[in-house]
Chains A and B, each alone.
Chain A
Amino acid sequence: LAKTTQPISMDSYEGQEVNITCSHNNIATNDYITWYQQFPSQGPRFIIQGYKTKVTNEVASLFIPADRKSSTLSLPRVSLSDTAVYYCLVGTSGSARQLTFGSGTQLTVLP
């Protein structure tokens, strides 16, 4: 299983771009990288997923270098409502689901 490491917490101000990096040194060839967002008293919510290079959707971008040993979630122009815990998830392929969640990063957006 690929172990993941993330910063425990980050602070930012409204309107800034936030980058959260996840380290996953033992990622397997067929593993995908997925990021989830979690608010208090709610289950995690899917943000973005990628395999290599760069992926962008309406809320975030995901940058994955060639060696895939890390990934960076980029949130453009954050607002107070982006205050949440962000999890990096590395999943293996195959018939069985082996999911490894990172420890999560508490992002606090300040006014």
Chain B
Amino acid sequence: KAGVTQTPRYLIKTRGQQVTLSCSPISGHRSVSWYQQTPGQGLQFLFEYFSETQRNKGNFPGRFSGRQFSNSRSEMNVSTLELGDSALYLCASSLGGIPHEKLFFGSGTQLSVL
């Protein structure tokens, strides 16, 4: 079974631009959650989608948004990029979205904002 796939693996953008990251969950998984990882703040929860609906959102500004498609694939968008948005963005999938069930993470998208 293929794991969680995130594309692209690396991305370089400039301030003010917007970016879209993609996540393909493990087949059969219906929940996708997104995380931002930085050396200073560690791993922080962005949001979670289940059956195309956002179920929860972390403490991030509205510039961060996402969506989930009917095939469970998910995209995350960051508008008006700031230097502080440089980070590793991880997505994770799980079967049915029960809060304590095991998460399967992708390798992430490394975003650099110049």
Contact = CB atoms under 8 A, between A and B. Distances in A.
Q: Are A and B subunits of one complex?
A: yes
B105 A43 contact: yes
B60 to A, nearest CB: 13
A45 B99 CA distance: 16
A110 B100 CA distance: 33
A87 B35 CA distance: 14
A36 B97 CA distance: 18
Contacts of B105: 36, 42-45
Chain A interface mostly: loop
Contacts of B42: 101-104
A23 B97 CA distance: 25
Interface size bucket, A side?
20 to 34
B4 A43 contact: yes
Contacts of B79: none
Chain B interface mostly: strand
B107 interface: yes
Contacts of B71: none
Contacts, number: 66
Interface string B13-45: 000000000000000000101010000001111
Given A93-B99, A99-B33, A104 B107 contact: no
Interface centre among A41, A94, A99 (most CB of B within 10 A): A99
Contact of B43 (A31, A46, A92, A104): A104
Given A44-B105, A92-B99, A97-B99, A87 B55 contact: no
Interface in A33-88: 34, 36, 41-46, 49, 87
Interface of B: 4, 31, 33, 35, 42-45, 48, 55-56, 90, 92, 97, 99-100, 102-108
Interface of A: 31-32, 34, 36, 41-46, 49, 87, 91-104
7 contacts: A42-B108, A43-B90, A46-B102, A97-B48, A97-B56, A98-B56, A101-B35
